[in-house]
Chains A and B, each alone.
Chain A
Amino acid sequence: MTPLLGRTLILLALLVATTGTMVAFAAGRRPSASGAAWARRFAYAFAALMVAANALMIYALLAHDFTVSYVAQVGSRQVPTWVSFVSLWSSLEGSILFWGLVLGAYITAATRATRDRHPEYMPYAIGVWLACGAFFSFLLAGPAQPFLTVALPPVDGPGPNPLLQNHVLMVIHPPFLYAGYVGMTIPFGLACAALLAGRLGHDFIRPLRAWLLLPWIFLTCAIVLGGWWAYEVLGWGGYWAWDPVENASFLPWLTATAALHSALLMERKGILKGWTVTLVIATFLLTILGTFMTRSGVFNSVHSFTQSAIGPTILAFLAGALLLSVILLASRIDTLASEGRIEGRTNREAMFLVNNLLFVLFTFTVLVGTVFPLVVEAARGVKMSVGRPYFDAMAVPMGAALLFLMGVGPALPWGRATAEQTRRALLPPLAGAAGLAAVGLLVGARNPWTLVTLAFGGYTAQVTLGELLLPLRQRMKAHGEGFGHALLEAGVRRGRRRTGAYVVHAGAAIVIVAIAVSSTMGVSKELQLRTGESASVGDYTLTFLRTDEVSEPHRQSLVARVAVSHRGREIGVMAPRMNQYERQREPVGTPDVHTSLTEDFYLSIMNVDAQSGTLALHALVNPMVGWIWAATGLMALGGLIALVPRRRGDAVAVRAAIVSAAAELGAAPRG
């Protein structure tokens, strides 16, 4: 019964999305109030059907209804309830279903937010969104059906991949990733609508930017949460390996970040309209490429799904979307003519252009390195991958350059500036650069790129802090306000977008510096210890005490107890473990991480020999890794500050309360 109902909902969603697309495009070509209203109704109906289908699947998962094929594939009576719930997105078919839910939610929100505005664009945008909805409904109705009927339902199922059950971050990471990935459909629709309508008015730039910023925040968090998960679960001691699937999430982030910057220039100067629209479209296409890479089985990594037949379907969609986008761009980009031009070269506008160029080059290098093996395999049948050194060699200089640019750009004034003004803007932050580089030298940084990154980081930090405090100081001086009041007024109530942007910059600068430090200044050691034996790693001394066996309903674990002290001071007993999941062949390790303000001490089990009482450990000292996670929170907070709309209507009081609380949170780590 449940499978039949599920299939009916999916088919209805397909029908509604397809019809809605046609209705919406018709309403776009012949504008009418009733046509636009019908387009919106179809959008809401699609979302409602997706909500219903997802609710039904969650019900089936929680009730262990093994007549549903997806439940039989990933469900298990032996896993905790939260794992059953999370199973919704743990495997291919369910993840596409969840995609539909997120898309439905985005379409509803975006349709509702614009319901009485932008009549010349919105029907087209809804049409594009529903076309994407139709494609994902088609996937669910054909190549990736979650609601097939199982004729002879099993008594119990295998449960999801143990790596996904192993850490709570796996509950958070996928929804963020989908909210980022799927959300890029919304700005894509708006960009296409601008091209179809043949103009991109000043009033339409704001929603385009806001709907790009929202998924950008989610994507930023998702990428870092993924790295954090890898760090806490996989046990090799790092957080990023330039794995194709990681790259798949990073590529649209790069183009989206570029688009956020060019959109600002577009809004301010009326230039780069066609370019911004191109970046937004590229972002969407890269999310589809990423979906293809993770779901077709061409790459198979820990993050990706099992091999399936949906690869060719997604590839066909990608090709179609690419072709239509190129045709649309080629035929309509002339209509989005620039209204202004850039005067002079050493000013903020020019730095925005350099920023865009760098982001595009970065995208290009990562894309080439990721796709190259596929092309070679298709052409010559040789299996290979592009090694990490390539990505590192390319990413390090570009990351450092972007970090420096975050300092130089905001330091420079808009418009034409004299040589004297330029000098006065660019010279003082050199103090910050020298300061942070000196600190680096003092604590033992010797890698030239790390020192360069620290110097650039210091430069940017000084500029960013100066820009954040500037309106504050002005207010305190002009109105005689106290610090707290001035912070609220200047930073949050007024110039919110400006404040948000600089908070994001502060977070990004910390992330880049922390990556540079953590990847060059750590200690990594493999140890073999007998019971009672001690060894030292960096400033840490560890003693292997014993191993315990721990039994939980869904897994058996072997836990090593290791006493750890730092420079003679006891830290406590760390407990890296090796987990054997019910009905899974291989054990999965869980490292244990001790975090202090400046560094992590990371222990993961390589192997345990219970008979001879020996333990082989991989021990690492990872400086500043915790800063990456914290600073990403700062980036997300900055994005949220910039996103909250200007006060309008009656929601002001609530928003102000939320924002001021957020601002206090944001101010705390910096202070």
Chain B
Amino acid sequence: MSGAATVPSPALHPHRTKWFALGALAVAAVAFAIITVGGIGRNLVYYWGPTELREAGDKAVGATIRLGGLVASGSLARTEGASGVEFDVIDRKGGRVHVKSHGIPPQLFRERIGVVVEGTMDRGGFFEGNRLMVSHSNEYRVPGDKADVNVEEMMRTTEGLQEAK
């Protein structure tokens, strides 16, 4: 950023100009850093599983969360009068979170499949989902592989894949 520091102000003494420019630059840099950090802080997306979400309790309410896990057997139901679905997401540690997802689910969506739901935790104790993504593994696996899902891997591979309003 030495570029900006070389702009001289004709009204000032050269020496003072230099300090003035450096000072202005420092102030601008600090302001910019504050804006950047603030912007990041307000737009974080946390990657959590059902157990972690339960443990966080009320702290989780309001934050944007990517919830990853398996769709529990027997929990899937269509939302009445709308195109959405309701289901439970579980993990291996025994956590379970009820999800109300808006929008049409993707082709592969079914019970016992790995999903990532982006949304927020409601005060009523259920998860309000805006985006529903089914695990897309990058790597080849033998067809008929047992339906064991590495949630961490899944969360990463689904990133940016689908976006529903």
A residues whose Cβ falls under 8 Å from a Cβ of B: 158, 161, 234-238, 241, 243, 262, 271-272, 274-275, 299-302, 306, 338, 341-342, 344-345, 350, 353, 356-357, 360-361, 364-365, 368-369, 372, 382-390, 393-394, 524, 526, 528, 578, 583-587, 589, 605-608, 616, 618
Contact = CB atoms under 8 A, between A and B. Distances in A.
B43 A390 contact: yes
B162 A578 contact: no
Nearest to A368: B36
Interface in B32-86: 32, 35-36, 39-40, 42-48, 64, 66, 83
B36 A394 contact: yes
A585 B134 CA distance: 12
B107 A605 contact: yes
B137 A585 contact: yes
A300 B83 contact: no
B108 A586 contact: yes
B107 A583 contact: no
B103 interface: yes
B64 A387 contact: yes
A607 B164 contact: no
Given A243-B160, A275-B2, A606-B107, A390 B40 contact: yes
A75 B144 CA distance: 21
A301 B159 contact: yes
B44 A387 contact: yes
Contact of B47 (A237, A384, A524): A384
A357 B1 contact: yes
Given A300-B153, A586-B108, A369 B40 contact: yes
Interface of B: 1-4, 6-10, 32, 35-36, 39-40, 42-48, 64, 66, 83, 103-109, 134, 136-141, 143, 145, 152-153, 155-157, 159-165
28 contacts: A238-B163, A274-B2, A275-B3, A299-B159, A300-B138, A302-B138, A302-B159, A341-B8, A342-B7, A345-B9, A353-B4, A361-B32, A364-B32, A368-B40, A372-B40, A384-B46, A386-B43, A386-B44, A387-B64, A388-B43, A390-B40, A393-B43, A524-B165, A526-B104, A528-B104, A586-B134, A586-B137, A587-B107
A344 B10 contact: yes
A618 B1 CA distance: 45
A356 B164 CA distance: 37
B156 A301 contact: yes
A299 B159 CA distance: 9
A300 B137 CA distance: 10
B26 to A, nearest CB: 14
A271 B44 CA distance: 41
B165 to A, nearest CB: 5
Given A236-B162, A360-B1, A606 B140 contact: no
Contact of B3 (A161, A356, A385): A356
A606 B43 contact: no
A585 B139 CA distance: 10
B138 A241 contact: no
Contacts of A341: 6, 8
Nearest to A271: B6
Contact of B44 (A235, A301, A384, A584): A384
B138 to A, nearest CB: 6
Given A342-B6, A390-B40, A585-B145, A383 B46 contact: yes
Given A384-B44, A385-B47, A585-B141, A302 B104 contact: no
B2 A300 contact: no
Contact of A357 (B4, B107, B163): B4
Contact of B8 (A302, A342, A385): A342
Nearest to A392: B43
Contacts of B2: 274-275
Nearest to A376: B44
Contact of A587 (B10, B32, B108, B153): B108
Contacts of A387: 43-45, 64
A95 to B, nearest CB: 14
Given A272-B3, A342-B8, A585-B137, A389 B43 contact: yes
Nearest to B1: A360
A302 B164 contact: no
Contacts of B44: 384-387
A282 to B, nearest CB: 12
A385 B160 CA distance: 11
A394 B39 contact: yes
